[in-house]
Structures are given as structure tokens and as C-alpha cells.
Amino acid sequence: MTVQPRLIKQLCWTEKDLPQKVRTKHVHSLHPYLGKFVPQLVDYFLKRGLKNSKLVCDPFMGSGTTLIECNVNGIPSIGFDISKFNVMLCDVKTKKYDVAELRREVEAVLEEARAAVMPSLDGFIAKKRRAIKNPDSPYLNTWYHPDALRSLLAFQSLIPGHSYQDVLKIILSRAARSSRMIAHYEVDFPKKPYGEDYYCIKHDRTCHPTKNSMTFLQRYCKDVVNRIAEFQRIRTDVRTRPVHGDSSKFDFAGLEINHVFTSPPYIGLIDYHDQHKYAYELLGLDDNSDLEIGRKKNGSSKSAIHNYKKDISRTIRNISEAAFSKDSRFIIVVNDKLGLYEDIVADGGLVIKKRLTREVNRRSGRRATSFSEDILVCGL
């Protein structure tokens, strides 16, 4: 029987109720990530039905919103993602730090990188003209100005041997994202590199492609450390475990998960590895994009939908059969435009107990959108 949706007014935040600054507080915006849910949504449910959880799982952890909010609420959590970069990002966000030591290390690496790219007077002209090429990566050579790439590679070369290498990698990735030669109106889905000035429809004027990455490195060294320091003040010591793995095949037996809070990948909308391509290229991370469920590259044809349903329901079944009791809840946040989730949940061996819905009004200006999002509360 179809469960009718119930609008939850408390969850329909407007921009005024929940400004961007609050949605992106502390480590939540350590690095841009396309397709995350708002932390306040997770917090709402954690503070209600999931308050006394022994272990909350997010099988599609993404940038780690569920794990971060669980940690702040003192709830142990475990998360899985097929993208190595996402797992590293979540690990960096949720770790415990000696902040003074971290700040010292990051500032020292930045200083050294600056010195390394500062041309000596003698070699100034020659160095300026010589393009820096990373022979291993056509991507890096195409999407970056040689000066920008030189600073990124200088910073990258200094990472080994430091205590907080993954933080340095996140800073490097964020600077790399900002210094791609892309049009300002294509930040999320860049179509091609822009080597020359271009007419920018976002700013209604001629804009110049970025040639510089050092400014971004400087800015993000400061911002990332400040955000981590802010999180350390509210961080708890409960177990918070990001894991790299394919949730549709993982054996969850023995984990004692009693609740799940997740937003599965959308079908045919985002390539989750590809959105951080610069990080994969610069850091040499393993690419598992073939195992991504619902990836954009596979489209939303009949067979893509069939595979998507099979993989998501297999994940639900894997967890519920291995760990669920009658009180366990599998909460799925989804924009189910294609009406797939009734079947998916049933094939996963669960029933939809409640279908809550909320209206999402996103920002103002060019990216203003309004749509509704369902929160499926499922159980045995």
C-alpha cells in the first residue's frame, strides 16, 4: 500500500531561516561537494528517533554530513563511500587534531611552497616563459595555466613526510578546484578549459581565466585550519569511522548497526568521482568510478534504472539482514521523481513506515530553485 507523503513544515527552511553560513558551518564546507544534504536535516532526526543509537550507518556517506552530525550529538557512526576522495575528506573532517601543531605545519608548507615558486631575479624571464608540464597528466596540462600548475605541484611535492598529510591534500584539492581555467558559470560542470578571455554570462562582462593558484592556497590554508579548529571545540570522542568500500557488496554482519541515515546517489545526475577529477589527478588516488551506483555517464535508460534499483535495494538488504531489529530505522532522503523507491525499499526487505516531505528553496539569484525532497522512514 502506498504511504501518502506528509509535509513537515519545520523542515521547510527558507534562506532566511537557515542562511548559507549556518548550513556550511565549520567542517561541513571544508571542500565543495555537489549533492550533499543540509546538516540540520540530519540533526533533526538524530535528536528525535535516533538519539540513543548504538551505531548509525551511512552507506552513501559522500562528504560525511551524517557522520559529522552524529559525532556532534555523541552518537557512534560508520560511513561508506566508493570514492576515495570522499573518504579522505570525511576522515579529515572528523579526526582529532592538535590544532596548534596543525597550524604550524600548514603555515610552514605554504611558506616553503611560496619560496619554491618565487623566481630568482636571474632566472625570472626564462622561468616565466618555460611552461611547467606534468607529463603524466594531460588533464593538468590542459585545465591549468602553467603558473597555477607550478604552485600546485610545488605544494604537492612538500606533502610527504608531514604529520597532517591528508589535510594538506584537501587544501591542495580545494585550491586546484578554484584555479582551473574554467568559465565562472560552469563551476559545477565545466565543459572545457578557457585559455583566453571569455564573455561571462554570470557576471555579464568579459572575464579572464585564472592564472594563479597561490592566492587560493594561501586563502584555503587559513580557512581549512580555522574550520577544523572550530569543529574541535564541539567534537566528541565517540567512534566515527569513514570506510572506503562498495556498499552494494559489503558484508555488514557483526557491525551492530541499529539505524541508517542516508541519501543514495541520484540516477544519471552526477559522476561522483568526476566532480573531483582534479584531486584524482593531483593526488594519484585510485579511481573506482565503474562501481558508482547511478553514475551520470550511464544515463537513465531502462537498463540503467534496472541496475540502479538492483544495487540500492541490495545495499538496503545487506544492512537490514545483517544488523536490523524491529526497532531499527533506515531513513532515506531522496528526490524520487521517477517513483522508484517504493519497489527499491520492498526489494530491500523493508517497508516504508512514513513518507515525510519537505520543500527545498535554494538560494537566490541564478541558482534559485525550488523542489521537494522526501524522507522515507523505513523498517522491518
Residue ranges binding ligand SAM (CB under 6 A): 33, 35-37, 60, 62-63, 65, 80-83, 86, 246-248, 263, 265, 272, 291-293
Nearest to 80 by CA among 232, 257, 280, 238: 257
Q: Which is nearer to ligand SAM, 207 or 322 (CB)?
A: 322
Q: Which is nearer to ligand SAM, 112 or 290 (CB)?
A: 290
From the CB of 82, what's the least distance to ligand SAM, in Å?
Answer: 4
From the CB of 267, what's the least distance to ligand SAM, in Å?
Answer: 11
Which residue has its beta carbon closest to ligand SAM? 62
Q: Which is nearer to ligand SAM, 24 or 141 (CB)?
A: 24
Contact 279, 176 (CB under 8 A): yes
Q: Which is nearer to ligand SAM, 79 or 209 (CB)?
A: 79
From the CB of 42, what's the least distance to ligand SAM, in Å?
Answer: 8
Long-range CB contacts (within 8 A, 24+) of 280-288:
280/85, 281/137, 281/139, 281/140, 282/140, 282/152, 282/156, 282/172, 282/173, 282/176, 283/85, 283/156, 283/169, 283/172, 283/173, 285/84, 285/85, 285/88, 286/84, 288/82, 288/83, 288/84, 288/246
Q: Which is nearer to ligand SAM, 33 or 216 (CB)?
A: 33
From the CB of 179, what's the least distance to ligand SAM, in Å?
Answer: 23
> Is 353 exposed, middle or buried (CB count within 10 Å of its CB: 0-12, 13-18, 19+)?
middle
From the CB of 60, what's the least distance to ligand SAM, in Å?
Answer: 3
- Rounded Cα–Cα distance for residues 234 and 73 (Å): 9
- Rounded Cα–Cα distance for residues 196 and 312 (Å): 44
- Say whether 330 sits in a helix, a strand or coil: strand
Q: Which is nearer to ligand SAM, 130 or 362 (CB)?
A: 362
From the CB of 168, what's the least distance to ligand SAM, in Å?
Answer: 22
